[in-house]
Amino acid sequence: MIRFYGSPASSAGRTHWLLEELGIPYEYERIAVRTGLPKPPEFLAANPTGKVPFIEDGDVKLFESIAVNFYLAEKYGPSLWSSDPGERGQIYQWSLWAMTNVQPILLDIMYHTALLPEPERDAKQAEKARGWMVPYLTILDGALRGKEYLVAGKFSVADVNAASVINMAPFLGVPLDSYPSVATWLARLKARPAYKRAASAE
């Protein structure tokens, strides 16, 4: 059985969602990542980075949420993956696009509105970062226009990875009203039973 180490309101959420989509047995070990409490020694022995998500699947031990999700989809979810190199390239593209381009901007907003001590927050920086989201949401809206999903007209791990990032936007003062295709896509994904199960278990 897969052992999944995660923490609420963290990057582990996208792996939790994917595990629910896959419908495979797993054991969820919650790790306190923000309390300052020491992490369990057995967790650190297996995963010296101390980061979540982290999975143990037999002899396979993996950290980094995108790597974990690619592994899980390829091994356990052929319908969420692809044997076609072009489609697989698009799965990589949208997943990495969301992680390397969009997530850092949203985290910048989060730091300057919630995570940093109040004296260190910069409201102007948060507002500037909100403006940086415009071209990225415009690109995503265009890519989703007339489509239900990002790759080959079917739900895939790319949707899980990208939506888990975009889902932060409305909570950080980046409304999706001007991006109807993005808003519809995100609502469709959040209506999935697996998403709801993972969210309720956090």
Could you give the residue range(s) of every CATH 3.40.30.10 domain in the chain?
Answer: 2-79
Task: Name residue, tokens 């059985």.
Answer: 1
What does the alpha-carbon distance between residue 6 and residue 51 come to, in Å, rounded to a whole number?
9
Torsions phi, psi of 62, nearest 5? -135, 140
Which pLDDT value is given to residue 36?
67
Are the CB atoms for 126 and 118 separated by under 8 Å? no
Return per-residue pLDDT of the chain as tens, 202 residues: 999 999 988 999 999 999 999 999 999 999 987 766 788 899 999 999 999 999 999 999 999 999 999 999 999 999 999 999 999 999 999 999 999 999 999 999 999 999 999 999 999 999 999 999 999 999 999 999 999 999 999 999 999 999 999 999 999 999 999 999 999 999 999 999 999 999 998 7
What's residue 35's pLDDT? 67
Cα 51 to Cα 62, 88, 104, 198: the distances in Å are 10, 27, 17, 19
Give the pTM: 0.96
DSSP string, 109-140: HHIIIIIS-GGG--HHHHHHHHHHHHHHHHHH
pLDDT in the model for residue 131: 98
For the domain covering 82-198, report its CATH number. 1.20.1050.10
Backbone angles phi, psi at 150, to 5 degrees: -75, -35
Cα–chain-centroid distance for residue 143?
19
> 2-79 — its CATH code?
3.40.30.10
90 Cβ partners below 8 Å, 6+ apart?
150, 151, 152, 158
Position 95, amino acid: S
CB atoms < 10 A from the CB of 196, how many? 13
What is the spatial distance between Cα 164 and Cα 166, in angstroms, rounded to a whole number? 6
- What's the CA gap between 126 and 108, in Å, rounded? 7
CATH 1.20.1050.10-classified regions of the chain: 82-198
> What confidence score (pLDDT) does residue 37 get?
73
